[in-house]
């Protein structure tokens, strides 16, 4: 992201900002969880910041796992257990449509902005591939025959929900920086 916005903004990690806490995600929507994280970070460090929340939303499961994607099979956040639970719940279901959705929350000059990225696809009937993380071994994006876990990073980025949201954030920052400089 730093390359895309140039060197007019310095991006630092939470650790570099002196923040070493696990920020709770107590809300029922990705938007609310992303917002509480950016607000918490902003309050702790007083700097412009952004955060995100991402979830897998399966149509036949009424949007599950959604905001509980990382904890779908329990608080231990084990992606193998999460995938096993998802595949068990999807057993025998023909409508396998799903989407990954990312919401980025940016606090910029004391105002908040949100950016969304969506990747439509389907849930495979079994895991395939070794790459990626989370639900990547069972998610096949629309327009591909491969799961995210079978793709290299460049291939995955042609579909990525996170990249789509980040591209919108970068465009906003580029526009904002050029308007004030």
Catalytic residue list: 53
Answer whether 121's CB lies under 8 Å from 98's CB.
yes
Q: Is 169 helix (H, G, I), strand (E, B) or coil?
A: helix
H helices present in 104-160, as ranges? 153-157
Neighbours of 94 (CB within 10 A): 6
Give φ, ψ of 119 to 5 degrees.
-125, 115
Residue 106: strand pairing partners: 50, 113
Residue 158: strand pairing partners: none
Q: Where are the beta strands (DSSP E) in 33-164?
A: 49-58, 65-66, 97-108, 111-123, 139-141
Answer whether 12's CB lies under 8 Å from 181's CB.
no
């Amino acid at each position: 992201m730093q390359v895309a916005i140039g060197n007019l903004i310095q991006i630092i990690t939470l650790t570099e900002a002196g923040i070493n806490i696990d920020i709770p995600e107590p809300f029922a929507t990705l938007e609310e969880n992303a917002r509480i994280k950016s607000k918490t970070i902003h309050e702790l460090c007083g700097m412009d910041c952004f955060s995100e929340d991402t979830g897998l939303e399966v149509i036949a499961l009424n949007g599950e796992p959604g905001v509980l994607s990382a904890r779908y099979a329990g608080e231990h956040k084990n992606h193998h257990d999460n995938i096993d639970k998802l595949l068990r719940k999807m057993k025998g279901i023909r409508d396998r449509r799903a989407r990954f959705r990312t919401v980025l929350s940016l606090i910029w000059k004391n105002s908040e902005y949100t950016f969304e990225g969506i990747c439509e696809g389907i849930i495979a009937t079994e895991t395939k591939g070794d790459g990626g993380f989370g639900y990547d071994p069972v998610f096949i994006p629309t327009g591909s025959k491969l799961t995210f876990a079978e793709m290299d990073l460049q291939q995955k980025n042609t579909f990525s929900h996170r990249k789509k949201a980040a591209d919108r954030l970068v465009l906003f920052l580029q526009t904002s920086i050029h308007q004030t400089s």
